[in-house]
A = this chain, B = another copy of it.
Amino acid sequence: MVTLKELADKCGVSTATVSNAINGKSNISEATRLRILQMIEETGYKPNFMARNLRINPKRTIGLIIEELAAFSSTLIIEGIMRYFEVQKYETILYNMRVYSNSNWINDEEFMQTGVSKAVGELLSKQVSGIIHVAEHSRTLKYYNQSLPVPVVISYAYPDERKIPYVSIDDETSTAKMAEYILSKGHKKIAMICGLKDNLHAQKRYNSFKRVLNEHNVPFDENLCVFTGWNRDAGKEAAAKVLKDGVTAVFCHNDFIAAGVYDYLYEHNLQPGKDLLVTGFDDHIVSTYLHPQITTMRLPLLEIGQKSAELMDNLLKNNQESCIEGFEIPCELIKR
């Protein structure tokens, strides 16, 4: 193996210039850079610690594709993944797609496919042994329909046709728990403010809630139910539509919508918790800062991360075909 000094001599430049070429600094000419890089190839000089690392430390690296790091769900899922991998001695490389931060729309399939392909390419060039895709919310991901040289696990969403292991939440069971809680408090006329109509979470929560009411012989009234956005303003607007005479409880599909209902109640001099039971979903931190604090469903974000990492670990340690599993983890009812 040539040393850095020998390589520099062969190129007729200083060792600093070689370092600059390797590190992509802009203060050398393109011709010099190319001459140095060609010499690196010819001599087999290793400009990085890679070979030494390989020998000392055959640690595997897993690439994480994060749709949006700034999403509240992402950091806890990542923490779950990293917690598992720290024990199992994997490294991680994180790729942040910045879907929302870049003002893009996650349902733009072409944009997403291009973005995921770029992310996969960069992670593969960094020699990852596997890829975990951390979705911003659950939906069916079609980005991994082409075979990749490394295994993929989908975290907080579902795969399309190809058999890819995944971990998401169990919206049906979780919503059923919430519906039963509301019914156990004696409510008979219950409104529901749902998320976006084309959203998988919203559809599952809607269906499950309707089913449980029917099972308990409590009439489900379509007029007390509306699909809307996932934010506070949408919740406030929706409240005006569904909070009709006699409604004593409202199940909101997330905590922001619930906060919007609080806003509506305050504006009408009504008292949340007293005049109307308002429940949420997610156990976002804001749910404890509303007064009174709201009853909600805690997303099992840490568990989703840990389980996703475990599935990847299984894929890498065992025969892949035997490890294709999907998991839906129920949320926990947080009574407040």
Q: Which of B44, B54, B129 is close to A37, meaning CB atoms less than 8 Å apart?
A: B54
Which residues on B sit within 8 Å (CB–CB) of A1? 41-42, 44
Expressed in whole angstroms, the Cα–Cα distance for A37 and B50 within the complex equals: 11
Annotate A126-161 by CB proximity to B: 1 below 8 A, 0 otherwise: 110100000000000000000001100000000000
B50 touches A33 (CB 8 A): no
Q: Which of B33, B50, B127 is close to A125, meaning CB atoms less than 8 Å apart?
A: B50
A291 touches B266 (CB 8 A): yes
Expressed in whole angstroms, the Cα–Cα distance for A21 and B76 within the complex equals: 32
A93 touches B93 (CB 8 A): yes
Q: Would you call A22 an interface residue if the criterion is a C-beta within 8 Å of the partner chain's C-beta atoms?
A: yes
B60 touches A25 (CB 8 A): yes
A50 touches B48 (CB 8 A): yes
Copies per complex?
2
Which residues on B sit within 8 Å (CB–CB) of A33? 58
Stretch touching chain B among A166-174, A207-215, A242-250, A282-290: A282-290
Annotate A296-319 by CB proximity to B: 1 below 8 A, 0 otherwise: 000000000000000000001100
Interface size on A, residues (CB 8 A): 64
Stretch touching chain B among A78-86, A183-191, A328-336: A78-86
Nearest B residue to A292 via CB reads B266
Stretch touching chain B among A94-102, A108-116, A197-205, A217-225: A94-102
Annotate A14-49 by CB proximity to B: 1 below 8 A, 0 otherwise: 000001011111100000011001001111111111
Which residues on B sit within 8 Å (CB–CB) of A290? 289, 291
Which residues on B sit within 8 Å (CB–CB) of A46? 41, 44, 46
A69 with B78: in contact, given A40-B54, A54-B37, A289-B290 (CB under 8 Å)? yes
Q: Which of B75, B101, B266, B285 is close to A83, meaning CB atoms less than 8 Å apart?
A: B101
